[in-house]
Structure 1
Amino acid sequence: MTHRKEWRQLRQLLQWMLMVIAVVAVIFGIRVILGLFLENNSITGNSMAPTLQPGERIVSVKTRTLHRNDIVILHGPDDPKRLYIKRVIGMPGDTVQVTNEKLVINGQPVAQPYLKPAFMAAAVKLWAKQHQQVAEGVAFTTDFSLTSLAATGAARVPAGQYFVLGDNRRVSYDSRNFGFVKQRGIVAVVKWRYWPLNRMGGID
């Protein structure tokens, strides 16, 4: 009788251990599968303010299909070990320029609803204060064209490459500095903010 009881207890223990192993395997498998398609990132720096703020956490989808205005995670063209987060502005074949805060692509004005006038004014004022300059006359986005930028120096965005900018143009380090971004250098497209909870939701 004692042996039967011990065997029953041993069998229950083995069943419990197998269940734990199975659960761990499933969780591990799910994480691996999700890792093939999703990125989980935390925002550092202010280059995408006010759209994305430092400390916020986001989920991005790994894809090779990109559209204008997508917010993307990318390997720095100047430092592949670093990840940057920027907005796709210029698609392959596009001409891109900014004149008097107006974005012009292929000769046509393009709306920038993600640029908030109140934030732009505050960002210019802060930058001017930090650099001991008068805010009047300081642009949020300094005028440029692809040919005027030393980092690009081309009339159009090359095939298989993209021109990216940070939303906080006054401080962003982006294609104006490091040039075009090759498609293979783009890791994922940002889709969802899950932290903080009061700002949870899709991202445009």
Structure 2
Amino acid sequence: MKADINKEIFSLVKSIFFSLAIVAICRYFIFSPSTVHGESMSPTLKDHEKIIISKVSKLEHFDVIVFHAPDSDANYVKRIIGLPGDRIEVKDDILYINGKPYKEPYLKPNRKNLFPGIKLTGDFTLKEITGKSKVPKGYLFVMGDNRLVSKDSRHFKFIPIQSVIGEVKFRYYPLKEMGIPE
């Protein structure tokens, strides 16, 4: 009887150990929870919202990512605007990547709140901001959706791709906002 109990306890401990190991491996290498701090991605993501990030995503234009901030010990959440080799320009509130204009539907709510004649994103070229005409290899150019308050690549220039923790895939808090952010 005692041997059966010991066998059951050992089996339970072994199951718990393997379960914790799998959770740790998944969290470290595949996905991780995070919290949004600040209003730079509003209305897409708001302050104190809880998100899940994928650490295995291929990074593409307009992905929302979490990365180690280049100017503090915090993590920032921003949108990828420029990939390596891209030329970036904003003129008359229109984003141009490699000379092609792009619509940014995620900016529409913020544009509605502007006074007439005010631009959400000031005019700039990549060269004016960073001194480079293209995004260098191994780097990204990122901006927040709330362009009037976002501290992003317009302030701290490029971010190293190695500083990216992952791509935002899911918002799980608040519950009424649960889902995939756009």
**TM-score after normalising by structure 2:** 0.90
Deviations 1:127-158 (A, max 9, x none): xxxxxxxx454321111111221xx1211111
Q: Residue 148 in 1 paired to residue 128 in 2?
A: yes
Instruction: State the match for 2:145 in structure 1.
Output: 167
| C-alpha distance 75-43 of structure 1, shift in aligned 2 (>3 A) | same
Task: Decide which structure has the larger Cα Rg and report it.
Answer: 1
Deviation at 1:55, TM superposition (A): 2.0
Deviation at 1:119, TM superposition (A): 2.9
Instruction: State the match for 2:110 in structure 1.
Output: 119
Deviation at 1:181, TM superposition (A): 1.1
Instruction: State the match for 2:172 in structure 1.
Output: 194
CA contact (8 A) 1:191 1:202 kept: yes
Q: Of the candidates 44, 49, 61, which is equivalent to residue 54 of structure 2?
A: 61
Q: Which runs of 5+ in 1 are unaligned?
A: 1-7, 125-134
| Separation in 1, partners of 2:110, 2:126 | 26
Q: Secondary structure at the match of 1:188?
A: strand
Q: What number of residue pairs does the alignment pair up?
A: 181
Deviation at 1:70, TM superposition (A): 0.8
Deviations 1:41-74 (A, max 9, x none): 0111111111111221111111372100111111
Q: Which runs of 5+ in 2 are unaligned?
A: none
Instruction: State the match for 1:37 in structure 2.
Output: 30
Instruction: State the match for 2:64 in structure 1.
Output: 71
CA contact (8 A) 1:64 1:183 kept: no
| Separation in 2, partners of 1:27, 1:75 | 29
Instruction: State the match for 2:45 in structure 1.
Output: 52
Q: Secondary structure at the match of 1:109?
A: strand
CA contact (8 A) 2:110 2:120 kept: no
- Percent identity between matched residues is 36
**TM-score after normalising by structure 1:** 0.81
Moved over 4 A (4+): none
RMSD (Å) for aligned C-alpha atoms: 1.8
Deviates more, 1:22-31 or 1:173-182: 22-31
Q: Of the candidates 184, 197, 202, which is equivalent to residue 162 of structure 2?
A: 184
Amino acid at match of 1:167: D
Q: Residue 105 in 1 paired to residue 83 in 2?
A: no
Q: Secondary structure at the match of 1:84?
A: strand
| Separation in 2, partners of 1:119, 1:137 | 14
